[in-house]
Amino acid sequence: MLESEKVTGSALHFKVPFHENGDDYMANSTQLPASSIQYSCDDSTKIAFTTIIGEINLQVLQSELSLIWSGSSYNPDYSVMVDIRQAFLRLETNDIPLVLELFSAMPVHKKNRKFAMLTATPQQVAFSTMFGQNIKNKYPFIVEIFSTYEAGINWLGV
């Protein structure tokens, strides 16, 4: 994963597989990375960064978000940039109401909180659009979709 921020620079994170038993690496090379959701905050800009990686289904989303929201680093007053460009969402249209219900457990302090969604594929854009349309009817969130980090940061007002 490549992360880049103005002023602070860039960082490249990668995993190198280790096959102790001589497993055939090429046989496993088409698998998606392990599912995870990573969370970090930038206190100077008051933005929380959430990166969703790998194959994500409703159960993974629920468990990972619960861990983030109960963590000591979570700040419910910050706007959020959600990067799903490295994710494959295994969610169906009928899962959208269940995804929205997950957000009823999210600690919310700030009204009109902004979510910038970074997408790369038509599937991600479609999911983000459905998510944004449905969530604004239930919660005081504003969701917009972007293909670049810079456009999302500009919209968030940084």
SS3 (DSSP) at 37: strand
Structural domain spans, the chain? 33-156
For residue 96, what pLDDT band results from cuts at 50, 70 and 90?
A: confident
Give yes or no for residue 150 having a pLDDT over 90: yes
Look at the domain 33-156 and name its fold: Rossmann fold (3.40.50)
Q: Is 141 exposed, middle or buried (0-12, 13-18, 19+ CB in 10 A)?
A: buried
What average pLDDT score do residues 35-42 get?
88
pLDDT on residue 49: 92
Query: Helix, strand, coil proportions of the chain in percent (round to 5)?
Result: 35, 30, 35
